[in-house]
């Protein structure tokens, strides 16, 4: 049964469905059996891969404006100084952001 199906149950129906009691809760001798069926009451910590973080940072409005300014500088001046300065600053900014997350 889907978890959302239980949202329409009343309290007594939920007690019967899960073999428990609202007043007393789950009995200690039932815990090992329930852990085998449902697992531990834990949320696993999932650490994202480094490239997930990088892609998420590329959506940063600040970084997009910075990259657009660097490209515009390159197109107007014709040399790569503005473009390289923008890229170096963007890499440094993302590097410091990455250090804060990890």
pLDDT in tens, 5-38: 888 889 999 888 888 888 888 888 888 998 998 8
Alpha-carbon radius of gyration of the chain: 27
Q: What is the mean pLDDT of the chain?
A: 78
Q: How many CB atoms lie within 10 A of CB 86?
A: 20
pLDDT at 88: 76
- Residues with Cβ within 8 Å of residue 94, at least 6 apart in sequence: 54, 57, 63
Instruction: List the structure tokens of 13.
Output: 């129906």
pLDDT in tens, 34-64: 899 888 888 878 877 877 777 777 777 877 7
- Are the C-beta atoms of residues 86 and 95 closer than 8 Å to each other? no
- Which helix (H) or strand (E) segment holds residue 90: the answer is helix 81-101
């Amino acid at each position: 049964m889907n978890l959302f199906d239980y949202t329409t149950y009343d309290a007594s129906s939920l007690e019967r469905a899960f073999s428990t009691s609202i007043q007393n809760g789950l009995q200690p001798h039932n815990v090992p059996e329930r852990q085998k069926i449902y697992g531990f009451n834990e949320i696993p910590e999932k650490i994202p891969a480094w490239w997930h973080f990088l892609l998420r940072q590329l959506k940063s409005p600040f970084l997009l404006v910075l990259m657009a300014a660097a490209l515009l500088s390159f197109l107007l001046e014709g040399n790569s100084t503005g473009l390289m300065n923008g890229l170096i600053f963007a890499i440094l900014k993302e590097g410091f952001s990455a250090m804060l997350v990890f």
